[in-house]
């Protein structure tokens, strides 16, 4: 006569199944999270391009100069959200500025993962052309002189 409950063997089989499912599902969830953060970084840089155009053309500083702004200025005009204007959003560090030599014509922005490999594998950059490039080689550096996109970058493609 058998009592109610599971045998040790049955419990081991159930634990083995849970371990196998966990080994499959956890890496997938982490990869999806990282991809989502990269997509958010691309979206934020697209928003930055639009905000820069509105800032410049609308003379949002009201100083009579049609020039681009820094992330903090875009945030104070409510063209981008406070989190983005602070420089950190969804696992990425953002920097954005006008050119210190020709603020009327040039701006540049970069997005680098907070924890490379964990919050993102790609480093992004954008400028006044509105094109976003990425690289996996190294962190992008804010270029406030030429505002040129790096020659080694490639266009992001959906995964």
Number of domains in the chain: 1
Sign of CA dihedral 35, 127, 141, 88: negative
pTM of the model: 0.77
Torsion sign over Cα 21, 26, 29, 31: negative
CATH of the domain at 97: 3.30.540
Would you say residue 148 lies in a domain?
no
Q: Which domain holds residue 14?
A: 8-135
pLDDT tens column, 49-94? 999 999 999 998 888 889 999 999 999 999 999 999 999 999 999 9
Q: How confident is the model at residue 1 (pLDDT cuts 50, 70, 90)?
A: low
Tell me the pLDDT tens digit for each residue of 5-56.
778 888 888 888 888 888 888 777 778 889 999 999 999 999 999 999 999 9
Nearest Cα residue to 106 out of 92, 120, 96: 96
Q: Is 145 within the bounds of a domain? A: no
Answer yes or no: is 159 within a domain.
Answer: no
Give the 3-state secondary structure of residue 18. Answer: helix
Report the length, in residues, of the chain. 159
């Amino acid at each position: 006569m058998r009592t109610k409950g599971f045998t040790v063997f049955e419990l081991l089989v159930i634990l083995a199944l849970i371990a196998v499912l966990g080994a499959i599902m956890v890496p997938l969830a982490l990869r999806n999270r990282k991809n989502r953060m990269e997509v958010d970084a691309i979206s934020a840089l697209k928003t930055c391009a639009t905000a820069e155009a509105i800032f410049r053309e609308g003379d949002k500083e009201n100083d009579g100069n049609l020039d681009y702004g820094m992330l903090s200025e875009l945030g104070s005009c409510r063209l981008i959200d406070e989190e983005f204007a602070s420089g950190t959003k969804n696992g990425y560090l953002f920097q954005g500025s006008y050119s210190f030599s020709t603020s009327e014509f040039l701006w540049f922005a970069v997005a680098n993962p907070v924890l490379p490999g964990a919050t993102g594998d790609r480093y992004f950059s954008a400028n006044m052309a509105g094109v976003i490039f990425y690289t996996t080689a190294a962190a992008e550096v804010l270029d406030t002189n030429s505002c040129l996109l790096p020659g080694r970058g490639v266009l992001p493609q959906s995964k």
